[in-house]
Amino acid sequence: MNRRDFTSMTLGGLAGMALRPRVALAQGDLKVNGNRINAHIKALSEFGKNPEGGVSRVAYSDADRAGRAAVMEWMKAAKLDPVIDAAGNIIARRAGTEPSRKPLLFGSHIDSVPNGGNYDGDVGTLSAIEVAQTFAEHNVVTRHPLEIVIWQNEEGGLFGSRAVSGQIKPGELQTVSNSGKTVEQGIAFIGGDPSKLDTVKRKKGDIAGYFELHIEQGGILDKNNENIGVVEGIVGIKQWEVTVTGFQNHAGTTAMADRHDALLSAARFVEMVNRVVRSISGRQVGTVGRIQAFPGAPNVIPGKVVCSLELRDLDDSKIDSMFARIKREAKAIGDLNQTTFAYTELHTNVAAPSDARMRKIISDAAAGLGLTRRLMPSGAGHDAQAMATLGPMGMIFIPSVGGISHAPKEFSRPADITNGANVLLRSVLAADKLLD
Ligand SMILES: [Zn+2]
């Protein structure tokens, strides 16, 4: 028990409840118990802990299942009644005064990447539980029903949240996860029922809104000494496999002027992608991250090169226009030495903008707490992008020290975590008043 709990208990016990208003504190003064969140983060880090100081708590592992059981106990201590849905998500509903309203959701995930850290997902999950516990301790009842959610297998491809948004494609359940189990086996392992996945689906308008608190996973807030990131949206991602075709020939006997060197074209392509992406104002990014030349011998002019192309931006149409320009310039590069470029689309993640009202709610909540804030995109994917298809979405970032994430050295300061949880608490209360 901390001093504050002791004080309020003594007041409640000695002075008598009759002398006190039903809601002990004006809602604007409510604060989470930061020590309790940080103690829970430390306790959760024991499940799947690795020698480097982080965790390897991949979805569907024994550590994942044990960590989920511990978190469900903490939810019960917060006067919640958690259930596991057919998709394996942990969901706890807290009744509101107006039961006909759609639920307001908030939460995150607790699975990690292999050899991951102790903050990605955990901060948002444990803060969501803390917000519910703070409400319970101060008898705060919202108008909307609240749902505290812990999505399963975020790191393997947002499986839990995409099951709810109805975006799982046929065959995806056979994907082999990092645990070695297929997603289908994994869902059963953590207490879901993969044969009833359809029952968890919700449609657009089924939720009043969704908030997620998360670590930034980049270094912008830390570098600029800012407290809170108000997420503009989660960037769209498109990836292609690019095949450059030339003509394989002898490296000793083929004159320089007669070569159709696929690797030379690919090298010009890499330079061009960087130039095109940088020539436009904005925060879009473009990457060639993988390249292979065939046949791949020192004495053979490469006849074929296969490389990747990835483009990201908050605006899908900007990705499309950059790609169109890249294709045009690649054609010109190919014409220089009679090589050709062909593209196969590998992966698309459409951009998920946050809701303007939710951004304002988060920004006002942070301002009310005297915290500095920055409007920023999320370059990483989150469960929030699946929820954005169902209703208004808002995301809160806190600083990641040194911008390190998906690694054991991932770290967020306890005070920043507490700030984030207080912004989440105030945002939930404000959204409860403002949203339908
Ligand atoms: Zn995460």
Please list all protein residues whose beta carbon sits less than 5 angstroms from ligand 1, which is an ion: 120-121
* 153 and 159 Cβ atoms separated by less than 8 Å: yes
Task: Using the mean position of ligand 1's atoms as its centre, give its distance from the Cα of residue 115 in Å.
Answer: 14
Q: Which helix (H) or strand (E) holds 184?
A: helix 183-189
Task: Using the mean position of ligand 1's atoms as its centre, give its distance from the Cα of residue 81 in Å.
Answer: 24
25 residue type, one letter: L
Q: What's the rounded Cα separation, in Å, for the pair 131 and 360?
A: 20
Six-digit token string for 307: 């490389």
| Cβ count within 10 A of residue 300 | 16
Task: Using the mean position of ligand 1's atoms as its centre, give its distance from the Cα of residue 263 in Å.
Answer: 37
Q: Please list the pLDDT of the chain residue by residue as tens digits (436 residues).
A: 444 443 343 333 333 343 444 444 566 689 999 999 999 999 999 999 999 999 999 999 999 999 999 999 999 999 999 999 999 999 999 999 999 999 999 999 999 999 999 999 999 999 999 999 999 999 999 999 999 999 999 999 999 999 999 999 889 999 999 999 999 999 999 999 999 999 999 999 999 999 999 999 999 999 999 999 999 999 999 999 999 999 999 999 999 999 999 999 999 999 999 999 999 999 899 999 999 999 999 999 999 999 999 999 999 999 999 999 999 999 999 999 999 999 999 878 889 999 999 999 999 999 999 999 999 999 999 999 999 999 999 999 999 999 999 999 999 999 999 999 999 999 999 999 999 9
Is the peptide bond preceding residue 295 cis, with omega within 30 degrees of 0? yes
* Helix axes of 262-278 and 316-336: crossing angle, nearest 10 degrees: 140
Nearest to 56 by CA among 122, 121, 113: 113
Task: Using the mean position of ligand 1's atoms as its centre, give its distance from the Cα of residue 213 in Å.
Answer: 10
Nearest to 59 by CA among 100, 111, 96: 111
- Per-residue pLDDT tens digits for 397-421: 999 999 999 999 999 999 999 999 9
pLDDT value at residue 377: 94
* 381 and 351 Cβ atoms separated by less than 8 Å: no
Q: What's the rounded Cα separation, in Å, for the pair 193 and 357?
A: 36
Task: Using the mean position of ligand 1's atoms as its centre, give its distance from the Cα of residue 155 in Å.
Answer: 7
Task: Using the mean position of ligand 1's atoms as its centre, give its distance from the Cα of residue 102 in Å.
Answer: 25
* 407 and 5 Cβ atoms separated by less than 8 Å: no
34-37 contacts at long range (C-beta below 8 A, 24 or more positions apart): 34/414, 34/415, 34/417, 34/418, 34/421, 35/2, 36/130, 36/133, 37/126, 37/127, 37/130, 37/417, 37/418, 37/421
Task: Using the mean position of ligand 1's atoms as its centre, give its distance from the Cα of residue 405 in Å.
Answer: 9
Task: Using the mean position of ligand 1's atoms as its centre, give its distance from the Cα of residue 119 in Å.
Answer: 8
pLDDT value at residue 346: 86
Task: Using the mean position of ligand 1's atoms as its centre, give its distance from the Cα of residue 380 in Å.
Answer: 8
pLDDT value at residue 18: 39
Residues in contact with 87: Cβ distance below 8 Å, sequence separation at least 6, in sequence order: 152, 159, 160, 163, 164, 187, 192, 197, 200
Secondary structure of residue 405 in the 3-state scheme? coil
Nearest to 305 by CA among 250, 254, 247: 247
Task: Using the mean position of ligand 1's atoms as its centre, give its distance from the Cα of residue 329 in Å.
Answer: 37
- Strand locations in 110-154, DSSP E? 146-151
Q: What's the rounded Cα separation, in Å, for the pair 106 and 122?
A: 13
Task: Using the mean position of ligand 1's atoms as its centre, give its distance from the Cα of residue 159 in Å.
Answer: 13
